Amino acid sequence: MEKIANYIDGALVAPQSNEYLDNVAPAIGQVYSLIPDSTEQDVEAAVAAAEKAFPLWSGLSVDERSAHLERLATAIEDQADELAMAESVDNGKPLSLAKTVDIPRGSANIRFFSHAITQYASESHSMGDIAVNFTLREPIGIVGCISPWNLPLYLFTWKIAPALAAGNCVVAKPSEVTPMTAYLLSKICEKIGFPKGVLNILHGLGHKVGNAIVSHPKVKAISFTGGTATGAHIASIAAPKFKKLSLELGGKNPALVFADCDFEETLNTVVRASFANQGQICLCSSRIYIERAIYDKFRDAYIDKVKQLKVGDPLEEGTAQGAVVSEAHMNKVLGYIDLAKQEGGKCLVGGERAHLTGRCENGFFIYPTVFEGLKLSDRVNQEEVFGPVVTIQPFDSDEEAVELANGTEYGLAATVYSSNVKRCHGLARQLDFGIVWVNTWLLRDLRTPFGGAKSSGVGREGGFEALKFFTEAKNVCVKY
Ligand code: NDP
């Protein structure tokens, strides 16, 4: 059975404890590889390697750093098929999704920041004929990047790329649930001779090795994507040590469907937004609000489309819904389905585990599920399920739509479907979210600020926001 290795100082190494954890392929429900159960000792080694590499890496010209990242992006593209297969097996997502979304975005993240750093400039502030101020933006040093399991390589590279481009050395931890593509990335780094110690990748448990990265005194900034409760825990450790923190957390995202929307286009987009990646994208719409005038028509058409989503072997063409990521997560999602029933929700489609036959008979599959009749205050409308479970309900006015949309502790992404331009602009201002999409979903320009309001996070990623986060600003005031 394949043993995944840590990547420290340019070498693939076993964890110092020599202890391993099982890595389960969710579509077949079987252990298929072993993950290092890394500890503080491995973090020490990674930090030492990063510290040694920092002067050289941060001292490279921007063009040289950019060229290293370009090579890495190209090497990911060269191995795209292998990476897509690995992502699908490790996570349970349809291979088609890994091929078209996850892996292309992994290389695009790195290429984007290899270019962005060459365009990154800082400000100067003139004080007339008295003095001039200019801002130096210097790399922070060693930074920690911790990413979740839903879009493994995609979100891992989204963090490490700006950190590296800005001249930092990185100690990174992918989710223990989906370590494979980060491991393959470390093999790619080794193969192309990516500078040693600049990127270090440790595998293992969040509360163990993740905690040790966050707590390490030499790790000066933490970029974290994951659940809100974990984010709060990380903040409680990092904040008293005055580390820089970027937290991208959970969501409970509303979609507002108005009667004047483009019906067919909206229908297709809402179905995709609800169930892409089995609903395991922080940006997925999980509360669908539909203007009463079209409620029945839209609901019936939506349910028809959802019924057509084929739950199946992620490796088979035509599969729209793969496995959810783990048995524990499946049970959590099924728990929310039970709760929705207890809360009085009417299940319109799905509502249970899907039992496949053949290769996937022990896999963790759930039918895409839609409830109606739940109140905003019900737990299923307030808490993040992070699976293929959606609620739908009617609304009667723009004011009510905004009230419903804003009515949770989360504020990641809202989506509005309407052909009334004035309404769309007005709603965009009133919706308390880090991202508002109008007549689209998941359309991303990597230059834009990305992140959540309220309990969905602190700080923004993307474009120069990320480069700002991964640099320390120093004002230099020179008197004439
Ligand atoms: P978790 O918060 O459980 O874990 C995220 C990462 O943090 C994992 O690598 C995890 O390791 C690690 N971790 C866990 N505990 C600690 C700790 N004490 N110290 C340091 N690291 C720790 O999230 P999930 O992996 O379950 O991901 C799903 C969540 O991520 C959802 O809430 C989703 O909304 C959110 N998310 C947010 C996005 C955004 O951009 N806002 C994008 C994508 C997802 P391990 O896996 O070993 O536990």
3-state secondary structure 407-461: CCCEECEEEEECCCHHHHHHHHHHCCCCEEEECCCCCCCCCCCECCEECCEECCE
CA of 225 to the centre of ligand 1 (A): 6
Examine the residue annotation and report whether 248 is marked as an active-site residue of this protein.
yes
Whole-number pLDDT of residue 1: 87
| Predicted local confidence at residue 108, as pLDDT | 98
**Structural contact between residues 473 and 137, judged by C-beta atoms closer than 8 angstroms:** yes
Active-site annotation holder among 189, 282, 284, 360: 282
Return the closest-CA partner of residue 375 out of 391, 399, 388.
391
Beta-carbon count within 10 A of 193 CB: 10
pLDDT of residue 374: 98
pLDDT at residue 336, rounded to an integer = 98
- CATH 3.40.309.10 domain residues, the chain: 253-446
Provide CATH 3.40.605.10 ranges for the chain: 2-249+456-479
What pLDDT shows up at residue 318?
95
Which residue has its alpha carbon closest to ligand 1 atom 22?
Answer: 206
pLDDT in tens, 222-279: 999 999 999 999 999 999 999 999 999 999 999 999 999 999 999 999 999 999 999 9
Specify the pLDDT at position 43.
Answer: 98
* Residue ID of nearest Cα to ligand 1 atom 40: 248
Nearest residue CA, atom 12 of ligand 1? 206
Q: Cα dist. 239→103, 153, 189, 205, 435 in Å?
A: 33, 27, 32, 21, 26
Tens digits of per-residue pLDDT, 163-219?
999 999 999 999 999 999 999 999 999 999 999 999 999 999 999 999 999 999 999
Ligand 1 cavity residues, CB under 6 Å: 146-150, 155, 173, 175-177, 205-207, 210-211, 214, 225-227, 230, 233-234, 248-251, 282, 384, 386, 412, 452, 456-457
Q: What is the rounded CA–CA span in Å between residue 224 and residue 236?
A: 13
Catalytic-labelled residue, pool 169, 176, 189, 248 = 248
As a whole number of angstroms, the distance between CA 179 and CA 166 comes to 25
> Which residues of the chain are under the pLDDT cut of 70?
none
CATH C-level class of 2-249+456-479: alpha beta
Which numbered atom of ligand 1 lies nearest the CA of 213? 20
384 tagged catalytic? no
Q: How are beta strands 471-479 and 389-395 bridged, if at all?
A: unpaired
Number of the ligand 1 atom closest to the C-alpha atom of 281: 43
Collapse the DSSP code of 200 into the 3-class scheme (helix H, G, I; strand E, B; otherwise coil) and give the result: strand
Ligand 1 atom closest to the CA of 456, numbered from 1: 41
Residue with the smallest CA separation from ligand 1 atom 36 is 226
Q: What is the pLDDT of residue 90?
A: 98
Q: Say whether domain 253-446 belongs to CATH 3.40.309.10.
A: yes
